[in-house]
Structure 1
């Protein structure tokens, strides 16, 4: 290596000795090569990386400093549009990111595919790096769906930072879903509660598939406790169980999706079991006779379903010669409900569906009577 030309002699991958020293974290060798005249901004490899690019991948701050002090361009982009900053962020290296930002690295540079340093940091769930980037002026681009990514990572700290920096709590992704819908699908009750406290709309309807947060619960939340808590959280914060989108009524949808926990909770909370979707022939009880079990059929009837509203012949829907659901329905049709059962229906109607359980809890009734009215006891 007696002259400048040999110092930059590429290997089979078109990387120079300075690339190799940088990639392997040899800070002293990097300084020596630069002192001897090596090209600090030489490009190599199929992505045309500079030594600074490869040092960012290895995350060696001493090497990065040596290259920068030797004249390396911190904003040089490779063939994919990646800069040293975005590479350092993708490696999660807080020290390197801070150093580059302090030197003036372009915080809002976009790689190919609209990828920014902030988008990478949020996707990686890196709280300190997200904080650094926002402090240095990183823009929140709503089409990047940063809030949704933060919710998927269950990162409350990042969600808080994004909201404080201009993120939208009701931002929509490409499917029309909101961060609250994502929190519901992830069964993250604390996050869902936090988003609602910050103004998340529990009644938002996806413009793509017509789902609301209640529809999402019906489709994706199968565990009984989580389903019950999420549905109650949504309803007590304004979710309309009786609103029909082009996915249909949430109650009907939950029955068709065979989600007994969600369907049961909605009925207990006061969903109108007599509502019909005029676009289809089925009602709540017809759906339950086809898709649900005997217990849900009983819950719907004891919630006040009017048998005259049933559009389908249950005997044509039975799957076996002896069908417990059909037998029970026949019994109800031929034997009137008891005074106790009728009284429960009247009390539930008076309480309404806005906060049925909350209103019920305020009544001076024994716990067992409250459970009976709430359909926890049939």
Structure 2
């Protein structure tokens, strides 16, 4: 029992010496155990792994060369890695060489599916990558749990020199894609998505397919815009990318640029003179609709100047002007009206822009300016929607939604000729709505403007 306790104490000292990279003490303990035929107590398989994890090159070499029997280099530690994996992660080419030349298997994976080569590519250790390739590491076959090969990993991490080695010294497949379940991405997709301009430029120079599609039918150009990378977009444009390519939702690069409100990239796409301005996605959204919905005045103006159709309609028959009125944007309404938008266009429920602005969530001043502008361009003041409501009815109706009815809006409408009438498609008149919802100032104004109280149903 005393001898066992002494050996356990010696083992603790041994591993402490490894952790401290104390080569002298490690050598002394190894010598003692060899002479006393008790090396098996030290668990040298584990010891090599611990030493490699600590980057202790001298200690690893000492254990390998000074132990009988030789330690196994396929031992996996509690982190799921072998000694060779730790050697790579420490960036020690010398240690990698020692382990390789003493029997480490180069294409063994760790618990995450990473081979030594894949780890080296991720870390950007060009010298280790070059050595592992020369020793026979699989460049196109080895893959991690995300189905990424060496080139995917290096490109995604932005390690341009590693990418060069893989393509120029090992014939890595530049078009290889991950499984569809893992995204279906090429190395170019990875580089673009992570914003590595130099890698993107190099891959394009080497002939990477700029039209490759991932599982969502996205091409590199979609990812470049989605990650707000105008320089990468320019590289792709310079390589004759299809600027009208669509993803699985039918969205084009122009849709993407508008979605993130990037005026710079919208201009870049327009400058190619190849962009389809009137191409809807599968939801029926045209680029102009999207620009209006995003309240992007500058992009709306650019699209209009470029010649897009301002009369396009969405699936619910809304024109860009109707949409602009719905969100309460005076500037966009003004842009569209000046370009000839139909001020009296109606949606499926026969709402005009003059109806829409009454429900818009914008300031009273903005709303009044839009109402006045619509009237200047000939909006029908007494046009009825599918419920029989006029714009005046719609203004009064907003009190039902908990909004304060602006007297200023009523004044503009009545001043422009809106009929002050109790008539409504249901029993209750707009005046009733105002009174019941506490909008007494607006109700008083309607009465003063000539509302006939004798026609109200007091029952």
Report the counterpart of residue 263 of structure 1 in structure 2. Answer: 300
Structure 1 residue 164 displacement after superposition: 4.0
Could you tell me how far 1:6 is from its partner in structure 2? 2.2
Q: Give distance in 2, aligned partners of 1:210 and 1:10.
A: 60
The question of 1:121 aligning with 2:154 is answered yes
Q: What is the aligned counterpart of 2:257 among 193, 203, 217?
A: 217
Compared with structure 1, are the counterparts of its residues 8 and 25 closer, same or farther at alpha carbon in structure 2 (3 Å cutoff)? farther
Q: Secondary structure at the match of 1:16?
A: helix
Partner in structure 2 of residue 146 of structure 1: 187
Q: What TM-score do you get using the length of structure 1 for normalisation?
A: 0.78
- Cα distance, 1:98 vs. partner? 1.5
Q: Helix, strand or coil: the match of 2:378?
A: helix
**What is the alpha-carbon distance in structure 1 between the residues aligned to residue 221 and residue 325 of structure 2?**
32
Change (3 A) 1:157 1:116: same
Cα-Cα RMSD: 2.5
* Structure 2 residue 347 is matched with structure 1 residue 332: no
1:149 Cα offset (Å): 2.0
CA contact (8 A) 2:200 2:232 kept: no
Contact 2:160 2:199 in 1 (8 A): yes
Q: Is the 8 A contact 1:122 1:150 kept in 2?
A: yes
Residues 206-261 of structure 1: per-residue CA shift (max 9 Å, x gap): 12x2211111112112xxxxx33322221232111112222321101221232333
Counterpart position of 2:311: 274
Which residue matches 1:33? 63
1:79-118 map, 5 Å? 79-108=111-140, 109-118=142-151
**Displacement of 1:328:** 0.7
- Name the counterpart of 1:17: 47
- Unmatched 5+ stretches in structure 2: 1-29, 178-183, 381-459
Matched, 1:57 2:86: no
Counterpart residue number, 1:231: 266
Question: What's the secondary structure of 2:129's corresponding residue?
Answer: helix
**What residue number does 1:131 align with?**
164
CA contact (8 A) 2:297 2:331 kept: no
Verify the 8 A CA contact 1:40 1:50 in the aligned structure 2: no
Q: Which shows bigger deviation, 63-72 or 42-51?
A: 42-51
CA distance in 1, matches of 2:40, 2:59: 12
CA contact (8 A) 1:202 1:234 kept: yes
- In structure 2, C-alpha distance between the alignment counterparts of 1:8 and 1:116, rounded to whole Å: 40
Give 1:315's aligned residue: 354
User: How far, CA to CA, are the matches of 1:303 and 1:191 in structure 2?
Assistant: 34
For residues 270-321 of structure 1, give each alpha carbon's deviation from its aligned partner in whole angstroms, at most 9, with x where no partner exists. Answer: 11112223x2221111011112521111111111223354543233222459
Quote the residue 2:398 is aligned against: none
User: In the aligned structure 1, how far is the partner of 2:41 from the partner of 2:203?
Assistant: 44
* Deviation, structure 1 residue 198: 0.8
Q: Which runs of 5+ in 1 are unaligned?
A: 222-226, 336-378
CA change 1:46–1:29 in 2 (3 A) is: closer
Quote the Cα distance in structure 2 between the aligned partners of 1:95 and 1:7.
36
Distance 1:84 1:5 in 2: 32
Match of 1:357 in 2: none
TM-score by length of 2: 0.65
Match of 1:159 in 2: 200
Match of 1:343 in 2: none
Residue 395 of structure 2 corresponds to: none
1:301-346: CA deviations, max 9, x gaps?
11122335454323322245962111111012179xxxxxxxxxxx
